[in-house]
Every structure is written in C-alpha cells, then in structure tokens.
Structure 1
Amino acid sequence: MAAFGSVFMPKMALATFEDNKWSDSQIVPSDSISLHPGAHVLHYSSTCFEGLKAFRHEDGSVHVFRMDQNIERFAQSSRLLALPEINKVQLEQMIKDIVAEFAADVPEGPGSMYIRPTHIGTEAQIGKAASASNSSMQYVLLSPVGDYFAGGAHALRLLLDEEGQRCASHMGMIKSGGNYASALRPTIEAKEKYQADQILFCPNGYITETGAANFLLVDGNEIITKALDSSFLHGVTRSSILTLAKDLGMTVSEREVSTEELLERAAKPGVEAMLSGTAAVLTSVGTFIYNGKDYKVGNGDIGPMATKLRNALNDIQWGRAPDTHNWLTKIA
C-alpha cells in the first residue's frame, strides 16, 4: 500500500487569476503547471490549501463531505493571505467536475478520495515582500487513499510544549503551508528525543493544537476544547465531532485549558484525549510527555468515546447513517 497522500489522479481542475479576473476552469494534466522562479509563492509563501474527502456509498454513489465549510475556510485563508479573492461558486464546480471525472476511482470504504484545493500567488516579482501577488493559480488535486489505520491504530504520545507555538498567533486560523513548515522541525525533534508522535503546542501554558490536528478532551459526559480564535485552525472535523457529541447528549465546552488542568484531568479514570483531522478523523492520545516525564491519559489506550465518535462520523460519510445535518453533496 502506497503512503497516505502519495498517489494522485493524472488530471486536476485548474483556474488562473490575471488582469483582475478568473479564467474559466479547465481539466488539465496534473503535471502541466509551470511557475516562474520569481513567483510570489516561492519567495513569500502566498499559499493556502484545503483537505476534504469524497466517499463511495454501498449503492455506488459518490458524495463529498462538508464541501461548503471547506470552501468557506479556503476563501478566508486566501483573503487573510492577501491572495486574490476566490470565486466560491467556481471552486465548488471545479471540485464537482474533477471528482465526477474520476468517480470510478473513488475507493470503497474504508478508503476515500482525498481532495486538495490549492491557491498560490504566481506573480513574478521578488520586490513584493510587503505586497500582494496580483496573479494567482487555483487547482484541485485528487489522491485516492486507503484506511488511515491500515497498519493498526494505536494511542499517540503527545509532547506538551509551553515554550514554542505552532505558528504566528495571528496566522493560526489560515490553512497555509508556512504554518506546517513552522511546526515541522520541533515535531521531528520531539520524535527523536521523546518518541512523541506529535507536539501539543501550549504557549503561555494553555493548549492550542498540534502541528496538524485539533485537540479534544473527554471527561465523563463533557467534551472540552479550545474556543475558536485566530491562533489555531478552525477544523471542519473538529466542528463535525462537536456537533455529533451534542447529538449524543454530551456537554460541549469551548474554553481555555491550561496544561495544569489537562494533566490533572488526564490522571482520572475514564478520561480520554484525542486529535481530530480530515485524514484520521479521530485518534486517541494515550500519553502526555511534560518536563521529561510521561503522564498516562486514562488507561493509556484507545478510548471508547473516540471510537464511538469516529464511527458515528464515518457512518454518515459512507452513507451507513442518516445525514441529518446535510453534510454530504452527491457528485455521481
């Protein structure tokens, strides 16, 4: 099995912004783009992207999950990065067109088709360190993916880092490559030094997120997570999980959580910690690493609530449960 996200469909949807207007979108070969070496994106990181999925149901139909939310976040990221404003209707059609083109290639569950809309500044102008790119390119790549847990799921080890932060605090809500680059080296070092799977960044002693996922804590009937602000990504999976938790009668608390509170709660039996994101949906955290010491979360294993919530979301995505929140868009 190829590594997650390493296989791509041979064509993608593409549109460009020049002379203050968007071109018509086209379906083009995935390896057909070229950039001037002075392109704004290559020097000043004017880039954002999204991650969403299409799912094949048992009747053979193909559905995209929460496309509207991803398009809204993509538009917000583009705006906050001073990229040309996207045409949301055009992007929705680009996603529909390219997924329809490769509908036959959408894997059956537990696989899916990963969809990666991307927006980059293309103006060839290296004097624009403090100015926006006047031209850009928007494309939608597809990557068929298998079961994220094909090698077997395990509870993660999470390093609590109170010194650093994932990215500049006013940039956190933007899904931009620079934010992931900012967290990369610390994460690699945490893996080497502590055998950690991820870092939970806790600047000033309060939790935000890991390098690539939102963080949630379950204590009894309460699910706790940081309230939305500009410092961390407003995850679509996070939002979906919180909605499903409310459907199950759970209390949702969105507020500040200190590392001190986190470690106190983690020591209680039955407490669960988890990470949410498009790729894995929900992954249990079994251990916190803090000041060089391991702290077990609950029983240190995969938690039943994480499994229950992940299955509830998967059942909607694959059409095994009613889509009561209208999260699915039928493509083919």
Structure 2
Amino acid sequence: MQIHFIPAAQLKPKPESDFGFGKIFTDYMFEMDYDEQLGWHDAQIRPYGPLKLDPASLVLHYAQETFEGLKAYRTEDGRILLFRPEMNARRLIQSNQRLCMPEIPEALFLECLEALLRVERDWVPIAPSSLYIRPFVFATEAAVGVHPSSKYKFMILLSPVGAYYADGLNPVRIYVEDEYIRATPGGTGAVKCGGNYAASIIAQAQAARCGFSQVLWLDGKERKYVEEVGTMNVMFKIKGQLITAPLDGTILPGITRDSILHLMREHGLSVKERPLTIDELMDAGRTGQLEEAFGTGTAAVISPIGQLHYKGETIRIHNEKIGPLTQWLYDTLTGIQWGRIPDSYGWTHEIV
C-alpha cells in the first residue's frame, strides 16, 4: 500500500530517561481510513496531533473499538527488534471479527507498523526501556443507532516507556475481586477492546485505595475459578507445576503467555492449562505449596506476585521475593527481546 508521509514542521526533543509509561509520544503517528466502497485507503504517517472526529461517531456511543500492544527493542548493536508482531496482527483480526469490524490483513498490519518504525527508529530507547506500540481501530460513521459502522480508522501511536509498574520486578500485592466480574462465557473476555478495561476500572480503583497493585479476577459464572490479573494473564507454580487458566473464551490469549508456555515445554518443565479454583490456590498458599506466582503481558513482561488478599485473608508467596522460575523466564524472554540471547524460535522481527 502507498503510505503518504507528511513531515512535521518541528521535531520534539527526545527524552533519554524518566519516560514513565504511556505519557510521552513520538513525533509521528500512522493513520488509515476504511469505508465499505474503498476498503482500507489513504494511509499516511503524519505529525502526532488531535483528530477531527464527528461527535456522532459510533465509537463514542457504542464502543466499537479494538486495540493491540507490543514493543520495539533496541539491541546493544543498534538493531531494532519486534517480538512476535504477527501474533498481534492475528489477534487484532480475531478481535475485529468479534466486534463486526473490518479485518486488517496480517501483511498490511506489518507493513504499516514497519513504515512508522522506520521513520521513528531514533525514538527507540536503550534497554531496559523500550518503545511501546499501540495499534487501534475504531468506528467513525456519524450515526446514533446500534449497528456496525460503515467507516473506521486504523491508527498506530508510539511511546517510549520504562517499567509498567513503579516497583519494577519487585513482587506486587494483588487483591482477589469477588464482587465485580470481568468476563462471561460468550462475552468479549478474549477480545482486546476498550469496553473490557472500562468495566474493570472500578475494581482496580478500589484495590488501589487499599494499597494493592492489581486485581485478580474470578470467573463470571461461578466466581470461583481464577482467570486474569488486571491487564495480564496469571500463572502459579504449585508443587513444582506451573498452572494457568485455559483459553476458553473468557481470558485474553496473551502473546507473553504463549511464549512462556512454549519455553516451559521446550525445557521439559511441568506446565498445565487447567481451571484453578481460588480455594485451591489459597489452600496452596497456606500450606506452602504455592511456590511462585506472576502476571504476564507485553507491558510488564513478567510481574512477580508477593501477596494475594482474599476475603480478609492474605497469603505471602516466596517470602515476597521473586522466585527462581520467574526470574529465569523474565531473563530469557527479555534476553531474546533485546537480542542478548540467540533467538532459536524465530520470534524476533528486525526493522530494516
């Protein structure tokens, strides 16, 4: 596809550190439109700035919107690497299908992403920071009425970031939510759409007021099976076996999750995708059988869990220190992402 480049009148000064997360954006962004007659068209890379959006745009009223999250990493020799970006492209296709939105073919997704990164490659910071990439799609047809939009916009924003959590790799405190629910069978739990996150904010805010970093969600049907931690998949090492919730349509098919399961099986380590009740988990914590716990996701990569709080009871995990399996997985994944460890899996994608 032809991508039109619109140069900025003036470029921003590039910060060298203290990025925070999602607060600073690069000079340019990608934008492409869709309508039923032309399909995807008018692709452009233009200066970062406000959008002109009709107040009746369907996204503002009925939340027809999907997004993705991935990162670009700068290696010690200056190369720019992506980590399994084709999986983000495929997941966006699945999300769009669920919300009756037009698909962006995998090859087109990668073409647009690579074009923007070539323009903004100087914004990719050195390790341990990275460049966060936010592709997203939203409905732009001006109409008040519940139906699939006839027009959409696909955009990509770039943001240099540091650690997602202020504590970095220090174990976080997690509150087990048993009042609100995140997803139900047949819903959009496996879809990366803004509505899922908006509905979770109230529980997250309540947990934060009580001093917790994140919320551990239980299933929406029986409220007894462990599902996800906030913006991450979650894994528990119990009696030597790593356990995580199965992909049954209510949790996000995480790319970091998939990578960790692959690493575990490749090295002959015990791993099981199965339903895990909160009662079984708490009992394992009481008896010392819960050896490690961590969340996984693009933003934080791996976030060790030091405490779980449920119905007034707190269990402490691995003396609230990062466990050896968690550390090994973090070191291995980030080593591949930053090019410090040879990539024998074909997961990295170089921007040339």
Q: CA deviation at 1:298?
A: 3.1
Distance 1:9 1:44 in 2: 29
Q: CA deviation at 1:168?
A: 4.5
Q: CA deviation at 1:288?
A: 1.0
Q: Which amino acid aligns with 2:215?
A: I
1:303 paired to 2:303: no
Q: CA deviation at 1:247?
A: 2.5
Structure-2 residue corresponding to 1:134:
150
1:261 paired to 2:280: yes
Stretches of structure 1 lacking an aligned partner (at least 5 in a row):
none
TM-score by length of 2: 0.89
Aligned length: 329
Q: CA deviation at 1:277?
A: 0.9
Where does 1:159-174 land on structure 2 (aligned, <5 Å)?
159-169=175-185, 170-174=187-191
Aligned residues of 1:226 and 1:255 also touching (Cα < 8 A): yes
Q: Greater shift after overlay, 265-274 or 93-102?
A: 265-274
Q: Which amino acid aligns with 1:117?
A: P
Structure-2 residue corresponding to 1:36:
54
Structure-1 residue corresponding to 2:269:
250
Select which of 62, 68, 79 maps to 2:86.
68
1:202 paired to 2:222: no
**Structure 1 residues 198 and 66 mapped into 2: Cα distance closer, same or farther (>3 Å)?**
same
**Structure 1 residues 172 and 104 mapped into 2: Cα distance closer, same or farther (>3 Å)?**
same
Q: Greater shift after overlay, 28-37 or 287-296?
A: 28-37
Aligned residues of 1:84 and 1:135 also touching (Cα < 8 A): no
TM-score by length of 1: 0.95
Where 1:171 maps in the other structure, the secondary structure is: coil
Aligned residues of 1:56 and 1:63 also touching (Cα < 8 A): yes
Cα-Cα RMSD: 1.6
Select which of 240, 245, 253 maps to 2:259.
240
Where does 1:2-41 land on structure 2 (aligned, <5 Å)?
2-20=19-37, 21-41=39-59
Stretches of structure 2 lacking an aligned partner (at least 5 in a row):
1-17
Where does 1:62-211 land on structure 2 (aligned, <5 Å)?
62-127=80-145, 129=146, 131-148=147-164, 152-169=168-185, 170-192=187-209, 194-203=210-219, 204=222, 205-211=224-230
Where does 1:220-235 land on structure 2 (aligned, <5 Å)?
220-235=239-254
**C-alpha offsets along residues 112-169 of structure 1, whole Å, 9 cap, x if unaligned?**
1111100001110112x2x101110001111111244675532111112233211454
**C-alpha offsets along residues 25-52 of structure 1, whole Å, 9 cap, x if unaligned?**
2111221521100001000001110000
Distance 1:232 1:269 in 2: 25
Q: Which amino acid aligns with 2:292?
A: E
Aligned residues of 2:19 and 2:160 also touching (Cα < 8 A): no
Aligned residues of 1:213 and 1:275 also touching (Cα < 8 A): yes
Where 1:271 maps in the other structure, the secondary structure is: strand
Q: Greater shift after overlay, 80-89 or 315-324?
A: 80-89
